[in-house]
Amino acid sequence: MLTEGPDPHRPGRHQLPFLHCLLSHSAISGNLPYFSMDYEIQRTARCCVATGRQLGPGDDFYSVLVREGADLKRRDYSVEAWNGPPEGAIGWWKSQMPDPSSRRMHWAPNEVMLHFFEELQSQPDKDDMRYVLALLLVRRRVLRQEEQEHDQEGREMLVLYCPRRETTFRVPTVTPAPSRIDEIQQELAKLLFAKAG
């Protein structure tokens, strides 16, 4: 679950185009012309959760996704404070803090994103986020769309196959309401953006 590279660390604002181009079944099949919605996230300083030391440019560090109650939280550790992932960690990876001029953003490793996707299966109140993440994983070729179907309640479902897990997932088609789009973008960015470069 490791990846090398820098992480956002200074206050600033970035445009990350990806969400609206996903919010259609046609985006999976390629029938929808690509279009993007630029949105901004606030980049915050990253500190070691164990020591409180602020991480500076060039510092290697580790990021971990952990469960706290019903929520998933991201925790960052400096190399000297890293003793391996805590018990029950959803995923972890290694990064390096970038130079302040770094602009491009990158996702966490596919395996970490897939673990997060599986975790969301037990949180029906986040079905819209799971749907968005499913579309993103299809675009990244981690999941493959097999078909669409309806469940016993009449809900439209995406049937997705994961070659690396040899598992089929059924994901309710829950397009986020406009009021939820920003929330989903911010939460995915906070948890799953790994680095900038």
Give the domain ranges of the chain: 12-196
**Does the pLDDT of residue 80 top 60, yes or no?**
yes
> What mean pLDDT comes out for the span 22-46?
39
Backbone angles phi, psi at 183, to 5 degrees: -60, -45
The residues that bridge with 146 in the sheet, in sequence order, are none
**Does the pLDDT of residue 121 top 80, yes or no?**
yes
Other Cβ atoms closer than 10 A to 51 = 11
Residue 120's pLDDT is 92
pLDDT tier at 18 (50, 70, 90 boundaries)? very low
Does residue 27 or residue 15 have the better pLDDT?
27
What is the percent of the chain with per-residue pLDDT over 70, rounded to a whole number? Answer: 71
Residue 102's pLDDT is 61
Strands (E), 35-119: 40-43, 60-68, 71-78, 91-96, 105-107
> What mean pLDDT comes out for the span 84-107?
77
**Does the pLDDT of residue 123 top 50, yes or no?**
yes
pLDDT tier at 45 (50, 70, 90 boundaries)? low
CA dihedral 124, 125, 127, 133 (to 10 degrees): -120
pLDDT tier at 167 (50, 70, 90 boundaries)? very high
pLDDT tier at 44 (50, 70, 90 boundaries)? very low
